Structure formats: C-alpha cells, structure tokens
Amino acid sequence: MAELVYPPVVAAAKLMFRVLDNRLDVRGTEHIPRHGGAVIACNHVSYLDFIFCGLGAQPARRLVRFMAKQEIFANRIAGPLMRGMHHIPVDRSAGAASYAEAVRRLRAGQVVGVFPEATISRSFTVKPIKSGAVRMAAEAGVPVVPMALWGTHRLWTKGRPRTLTKRHVPISVLAGEPLTPSPGDEPEVVTKELRARMSGLLDRIQADYPEQPASEDERWWLPVHLGGTAPTPDEAAALDAR
C-alpha cells in the first residue's frame, strides 16, 4: 500500500504544533505493537482527536487507519486526504461492510483506530462505549490498546468556538496495557474492562496536566468532578439526545 499522503500530513501536523508550541506529551507507546494488527481505542473530546491519537502511535512507527463517518469522506477537502491516508469510511446505515473492512485490515497487520464512545464527550469523561472495538479485535485475533487524550478539547470541541491557532496549549496522550480478547469472551464484559482502563488513563493525564484554568470563564474545559463547569454526564447525555 503506497503511503504518498499520510507521511506528509503527519509532518505538516507536527510542524504546525511546533509553531504553536502545543506541548505534546506522549507516553505509554511501548504498549503499541511494533508489528502486526492492533486496535487503538481512544476517548473522544475534540474534533482533532484523530490527529493526536495518530501522533500517539508515531513513536511505534505505526500509521493508524481510523474508522470515520462517511460524511467526512464526502467533504471536498477532507475526503481526498482521508482516502489518501487509507482510513475506513463508516456508513452508519450499513455498518457491517465497514466492520468487515476493519477486520480485514487488522488481519493484514494494520493498526485500526476507533473512538468507541461514537461521539464527542461533552462532559470530558468517558461515556458508555460500543463493543465494536472488542468484537473486531477478537475476530481478527489482535490486541486492543486503550488510549486517552487530554487538552485537545481546548482547541476545538462540540459547542465551543474553534481556537486552532491558540498557542502554548499542552496536549497529553497516554496509551495503556493492551487487552487481547478471544472469540469465546463475552464482548460486553471485555468492553466494560476496556472502558475502565480508558477512564483510568484519562484520570491519570488529567491529574498530571500542567495547567489549570486561568479564570472562572476558562473552567468550561474541566469536568465537574475536577471543579469545572462542563456538563455532568447526565446533562451531556440530555444535550446529545436533543
């Protein structure tokens, strides 16, 4: 598979974040397999998460193929980039085909990235997650690597204006120990364990994050349990339902 688009996009992203001095702290990459298939299951707090999740796999020299909604591939700007980087389109009305394609890619030794919460978490906690990541890993016989991101939401998240040129925003990425589900495992049980690991990783990077809101107005980017003014999980679920 020719990689004519992905490496230049990664280089451009790294350059932009250096210019903006977005201090990227990537840890736990020893848990990402250097060879063979793997699923990366990441929390979702920002429209930019696929970029930083992908950068989180760079120390392992892996390119992550993300499962993303079909509408992004139809965009005249993003679409050619998504296809050029060999990401996987997901038609939510016909999800079986994209699931089968992800399993095929995993069996071929690729790394597939998923956001099992399905949508951005407005509460900045880990929402209930779908079992697809666990099921495809079990079918393909590959591990699932939990990952957490923090700080990306300060640049662009749901319900807030974009601040893509905001400088000096720390971004934290933390990968955890993989799970290796087998076809005989109960998917919902392993999915519960995966969510617990993702939540634990998020708690760690939130606790280690080098900045706190500078004013009352900036407390929006902290979850309620850390003294912030983000919606509670129940309030966020109600907003999503509307």
Q: What percent of the chain has pLDDT over 90?
A: 95
Q: Which pTM value belongs to this model?
A: 0.96
Specify if 21 maps to a domain. Answer: no
Query: What's the DSSP call for residue 95?
Result: H
Concatenating the DSSP letter of every residue in 186-214 gives -HHHHHHHHHHHHHHHHHHHHHH-S---S
Query: What's the DSSP call for residue 58?
Result: G
List, for residues 185-229, the tens digit of each pLDDT value.
999 999 999 999 999 999 999 999 999 999 999 999 999 999 999
Specify if 239 maps to a domain. Answer: no
Average pLDDT over residues 119-141: 98
By the 10 Å C-beta count (0-12 exposed, 13-18 middle, 19+ buried), 215 is classed as exposed
Specify if 16 maps to a domain. Answer: no
Does the pLDDT of residue 94 top 80, yes or no? no
Specify if 3 maps to a domain. Answer: no
Q: Are 25 and 148 in contact (CB under 8 A)?
A: no
At 121, is the pLDDT very low, low, confident or very high (cuts 50, 70, 90)? very high
Number of domains in the chain: 1
Specify if 118 maps to a domain. Answer: yes
For residue 3, the model assigns a pLDDT of 92
Q: Which residue from 234, 241, 8, 198 is spatially nearest to 123, judged by alpha carbons?
A: 234
User: Which residues share a beta bridge with 39?
Assistant: 112, 144
Average pLDDT over residues 152-176: 96
Q: Are 91 and 101 in contact (CB under 8 A)?
A: no
Range of the structural domain that residue 167 is part of: 26-211
Specify if 90 maps to a domain. Answer: yes
| Sequence-separated (6 or more) residues with CB below 8 Å from residue 183 | 138, 139
Specify if 11 maps to a domain. Answer: no
List, for residues 17-70, the tens digit of each pLDDT value.
899 999 999 999 999 999 999 999 999 999 999 999 999 999 999 999 999 999
CATH of the domain at 153: 3.40.1130.10
Window from 81-95, 133-147, 183-197 with minimum mean pLDDT: 81-95
Query: What's the DSSP call for residue 232?
Result: P
Specify if 74 maps to a domain. Answer: yes
Collapsed DSSP state (helix, strand, coil) of residue 61: coil
For residue 122, the model assigns a pLDDT of 98
For residue 242, the model assigns a pLDDT of 87
Does the pLDDT of residue 113 top 80, yes or no? yes
Tokens of residue 4, six digits: 């004519």
